[in-house]
Amino acid sequence: MEVHGRRSWVAVNSFRPKKYEDFEIVDGAGKAAGAVRVKPSGILWSPKGKHNWLGVSLAAFAAFMEQNGKEQEK
């Protein structure tokens, strides 16, 4: 493919970036409590054994955390 006299290469057999990240949440005994999915548009929660997700926007999550979150060390 050539664009205005320059060649533009398209990668073959490359990976697409992920659209979300999933994290399984486990309790102190190592048993699954549920899963959290982080997306650019919001945060989702799926309780253990459920097949649906409950979600909030990033703005709603940020407001909740600012009101209810406790300061943490990194």
Query: Quick one: pLDDT at residue 3?
Result: 55
Q: DSSP alpha helices (H): ranges in the chain? A: 58-68
Residue 56 and residue 41 in contact, taking contact as beta carbons nearer than 8 Å: no
Q: Greater confidence, 6 or 57?
A: 57
Each residue's pLDDT tens digit, 11-69: 788 888 899 999 999 999 999 999 999 999 999 999 999 999 999 999 999 999 999 99
The residues, ordered by sequence, that sit 6+ positions from 16 with a Cβ below 8 Å of its Cβ are none
Query: Quick one: pLDDT at residue 63?
Result: 96
Place of tokens 């409590």: 33
Structure-token pair, residue 47: 């309780």
Query: Quick one: pLDDT at residue 5?
Result: 63
Going by C-alpha positions, the residue among 63, 66, 72, 35 that lies closest to residue 50 is 35
Predicted confidence (pLDDT) at residue 1 exceeds the cutoff of 60: no
